[in-house]
A and B are shown apart, each in its own frame.
Chain A
Amino acid sequence: MTRQLLDHVYSVVVVLAVFFVILKIVAPSPDAARQSRESEIAPYLDLDILDYSSPLDRAILKEALTAYYPGEPGRGDSLLSAIDAHRREAFTNPALKAGAEKPGLTPRTLARLAPMYVQFVLLYAVVLVLTVYGARMMGTFRFIRTQQRRLPALLEFLYTIAGARREIPLPGRITHALAALMRSLVNGMLYALLFSPAYVIAYSFKSHMEGGAYLFMVVLGVVSNGMLVTSANRFYTFLVHESARGYVDTAIVKGLNASYMWNVPDGLPRRAILRPAGASRGHVFHHIYENARYLYIPAVKQQASFLITGLVIIEMALNIQGHLCYELMQNILYRDYEVVAGIVIAIFLVVKATEVMVDIWFIRESRRYENANA
């Protein structure tokens, strides 16, 4: 455990060291580039006779420069682009506005970003807990359905309309076919929803996002970007892997319940989907589930990393003001790389903290099993 924790500490130390080097490189030297550009264009900006928004004045200046510097045909274009950039920046660069914050990681910027960071971490924690629980639930549901060896809903519908369900009386057969068709449609829509990128779902319901839409963001974080379905698939893989182990056959031979049909004497109750461990005692699935749950713990690290990606996409793509990743995007846009590096490192620390916690959780669980076996 100590070794694993040390690994994490080393990586955090190395990344922080790299971060400080990057900060030194990208720290805003009082706008050296802008100052040099402005000293170049300053004489032209002082010319009151020119209106740079007028195409005629611009053409006159360009021609004058071409005549004055015949060997440098591109000089006029370069100068006009520099003037345009300067004029645009005067409107768009928040650092140039009256009362604007100084660029870089100033205490004021940090104080503004801190609540956003806390909010981001809380959002992340809630979504992570929900997805871990949701993945287990969905994985369990899929595993039980597979063990029940049921036909997929669409095939069931096709079989029914093809006359392969003659044991059902005719009116019931129609209802049966329609129910299967409905199930199939709902499944299809669920898949579409679960695989939709967050922005597709979000823009289907709202044309504009505002701050404070936390519940909406939590829902998006859980259901979108294929997050839940991919994690559930991983958990399902562990369940399948465990169900093929020798102890399962031994347990069945020893008389544990082994039917996966709902609500039959040796089967599983439906509530086993919501509470797989609690509701399946006395059934072989209980042991399969407990072992799969243990194996799944390290996979939470991968899930956490992908979840962060999903949350960053949600906050950036939806352009929600007052959120950490919106700030990240704005600072990339305004080239304030010191703040960008700060936010990136803060996000990195969230991932690292999750990895540390997952490692501790896994080691504790391992010890519990070791003690139980001793």
Chain B
Amino acid sequence: MPMRDLGSRQRIPWLLVRLTRLVTDSPDRLWAGLWILGIGALWAWDAAFLNRPAYLRLQAAFVNTMAGATLTVLFTLVLGWSAGLVLDSLSRRSSRIPYLLLTFTLSLIRSLPQIVGILIGYVLLTIFIERDIVRSTYLHLIWTALLISVFTFLELTDLLRERIDQYRKTDFFNAMLCCGIPERRIINVDVLWKNSLAHIFQKLIATFGMAIFLQCSIDFIISVGLSMDVSLSNFPPTLGSLLASLDSKQDILAIGVALGRPGYAGELLFRHLQGISVAFLIVFSLVCMYKISNGIVRRYRL
């Protein structure tokens, strides 16, 4: 039934009205709340029904994955912001060569599939570990985050350049220049910070989702087929590596069994909890990040 037909003829519970407003006006808040709620509910369920060692592994894997994704977002912000400013500055210089070189390099990165670049970076990491250059286990997370950000910062750079170019055409920009405000301040503070924060935030949320996806995928691939020279026990567990373990794979296989035999579905929540929890955490986080990112677009009409 169309929403406009919801007249005041019938009394609608207050909570439902609030929920409708939340869905229509600020879906990002709703989905952020649902994400926290969903993970909280899973945490409580696992605390009650999952065996202790698996529970601790799952907890560590989740924390490491989120930490990795957060680091990726930070690196993306730094790289994207810097590249945006450098490109903007180079594009207005009389010599075009540095600008062309930089845009050429960036377009090369764009043409290289993310996962292939990250895999090559992983090979470098194993070489560093073998040669004892990298010793701390947590450097793996930082290294992976940095690698992923090399392939995600370009979208942020494009966005920042688009915003700067858009504002450069307005009177506001020239008026501020006439008032003696330095151009660097206008771009960084007035254009990007004050007038593009929602755009940047939305892009970073999308990057967070992408980072979770890429990190889980790369760790899954490494755990499945690239674990000969460097022991993976040296690496901090992530959702991807936990999913690749035999236990989790068998648990996931049970989903297919449950689809054929619906009576078996109940078992998923008790007997196959480790794999199901890992898969749920990955998929639910990806859905929520997508919804939050879209919700921001809707709320701020970006």
- Shortest Cβ distance from B4 into chain A, in angstroms? 6
Which residues from B are CB-within-8-Å of A206? 256
Contacts A166-B10, A204-B252, A319-B225 given; indicate if A351 touches B113 (C-beta within 8 A).
yes
Assess whether B182 is interfacial by the CB under 8 Å rule: no
Q: Could you write out 17 A-B pairs with CB less than 8 Å apart?
A: A14-B104, A14-B108, A149-B4, A155-B23, A156-B1, A197-B220, A207-B250, A306-B114, A313-B115, A313-B221, A319-B225, A329-B221, A332-B119, A344-B116, A347-B113, A351-B112, A351-B113
* Interchain CB contact under 8 A, B287 and A317: no
Return the contact of B111 from the options A192, A200, A355 (Cβ within 8 A): A355
Which residues from B are CB-within-8-Å of A10? 104
Closest to B248 in A: A203
* Interchain CB contact under 8 A, B110 and A226: no
* Interchain CB contact under 8 A, B12 and A162: yes
Q: Closest 5 A-B residue pairs measured CB to CB?
A: A308-B113, A204-B255, A195-B286, A204-B256, A205-B256
Closest to A329 in B: B225
- Shortest Cβ distance from B117 into chain A, in angstroms? 9
In the complex, chain B residues 264-302 whose Cβ is within 8 Å of any chain A Cβ: 279, 282-283, 286-287, 290, 294, 297
- Shortest Cβ distance from A81 into chain B, in angstroms? 11
Closest to B293 in A: A233
* Interchain CB contact under 8 A, A305 and B104: no
* Interchain CB contact under 8 A, A155 and B221: no
Assess whether B107 is interfacial by the CB under 8 Å rule: yes
A306 vs B217: C-alpha distance in the bound complex, in angstroms? 13
* Interchain CB contact under 8 A, A164 and B6: yes
- Shortest Cβ distance from A101 into chain B, in angstroms? 19
Closest to A12 in B: B111
* Interchain CB contact under 8 A, B107 and A332: no
- Shortest Cβ distance from B151 into chain A, in angstroms? 9
Which residues from A are CB-within-8-Å of B216? 197
Binding site of A, secondary structure by majority: helix, strand, loop or mixed?
helix
* Interchain CB contact under 8 A, B111 and A305: yes
* Interchain CB contact under 8 A, B225 and A333: yes
Residues on B facing A (Cβ under 8 Å) = 1-4, 6, 10-13, 16, 19-20, 23, 104, 107-108, 110-116, 119-120, 123, 213-214, 216-217, 220-221, 224-226, 228, 243, 249-250, 252-253, 255-256, 259, 279, 282-283, 286-287, 290, 294, 297
Assess whether A254 is interfacial by the CB under 8 Å rule: no
Per-position contact with B for A165-205: 1 when CB-CB < 8 Å, else 0?
Answer: 11000000000000000000000000110011101100111
Residues on A facing B (Cβ under 8 Å) = 7, 10-11, 14-15, 92, 148-152, 155-156, 158-159, 162-166, 191-192, 195-197, 199-200, 203-207, 225-226, 229-230, 233, 237, 305-306, 308-309, 312-313, 316-317, 319, 328-330, 332-333, 340, 344, 347-348, 351-352, 355
A164 vs B112: C-alpha distance in the bound complex, in angstroms? 54
Binding site of B, secondary structure by majority: helix, strand, loop or mixed?
helix
A63 vs B256: C-alpha distance in the bound complex, in angstroms? 55
Return the contact of B113 from the options A149, A151, A305 (Cβ within 8 A): A305
Closest to B214 in A: A309
Which residues from A are CB-within-8-Å of B108? 11, 14-15
A229 vs B10: C-alpha distance in the bound complex, in angstroms? 37
A230 vs B86: C-alpha distance in the bound complex, in angstroms? 29
Closest to A313 in B: B217
Closest to B279 in A: A200
Which residues from B are CB-within-8-Å of A306? 114
Which residues from A are CB-within-8-Å of B250? 207
* Interchain CB contact under 8 A, B221 and A317: yes
Which residues from B are CB-within-8-Å of A313? 115, 217, 221
Contacts A313-B221, A347-B116 given; indicate if A196 touches B283 (C-beta within 8 A).
yes
Contacts A148-B2, A196-B283, A207-B249 given; indicate if A333 touches B104 (C-beta within 8 A).
no
* Interchain CB contact under 8 A, B249 and A203: yes
* Interchain CB contact under 8 A, B12 and A164: yes
* Interchain CB contact under 8 A, A312 and B116: yes
Apart from A164-B6, A347-B113, list 14 A-B contacts with CB within 8 A: A151-B1, A151-B3, A155-B19, A156-B1, A158-B19, A164-B12, A197-B216, A200-B252, A203-B253, A204-B252, A312-B113, A313-B115, A313-B217, A319-B225
Contacts A151-B3, A351-B113, A352-B111 given; indicate if A226 touches B286 (C-beta within 8 A).
yes
* Interchain CB contact under 8 A, B287 and A191: yes
* Interchain CB contact under 8 A, A203 and B252: yes
A228 vs B114: C-alpha distance in the bound complex, in angstroms? 18
Which residues from B are CB-within-8-Å of A204? 252-253, 255-256, 259
Which residues from A are CB-within-8-Å of B113? 305, 308-309, 312, 347-348, 351
Which residues from B are CB-within-8-Å of A162? 12-13, 16
* Interchain CB contact under 8 A, A332 and B12: no
Return the contact of A199 from the options B10, B20, B107, B220 (Cβ within 8 A): B220
A163 vs B16: C-alpha distance in the bound complex, in angstroms? 11
Which residue, B6, B114, B217, has most C-beta atoms of chain A within 10 A? Answer: B217
- Shortest Cβ distance from A242 into chain B, in angstroms? 15
Which residues from B are CB-within-8-Å of A348? 111-113
Which residues from A are CB-within-8-Å of B286? 195, 226
Which residues from B are CB-within-8-Å of A237? 297
Contacts A229-B290, A317-B221 given; indicate if A200 touches B253 (C-beta within 8 A).
no
Contacts A195-B287, A317-B220, A332-B226 given; indicate if A159 touches B6 (C-beta within 8 A).
yes
Contacts A11-B104, A229-B290 given; indicate if A163 touches B3 (C-beta within 8 A).
no
Which residues from A are CB-within-8-Å of B221? 313, 316-317, 329
Which residues from B are CB-within-8-Å of A163? 10-11
* Interchain CB contact under 8 A, B282 and A197: yes
Contacts A192-B287, A305-B111 given; indicate if A200 touches B225 (C-beta within 8 A).
no
A328 vs B116: C-alpha distance in the bound complex, in angstroms? 10
Closest to B13 in A: A162
Which residues from B are CB-within-8-Å of A317? 217, 220-221, 224
Contacts A10-B104, A305-B110, A312-B116 given; indicate if A207 touches B253 (C-beta within 8 A).
yes
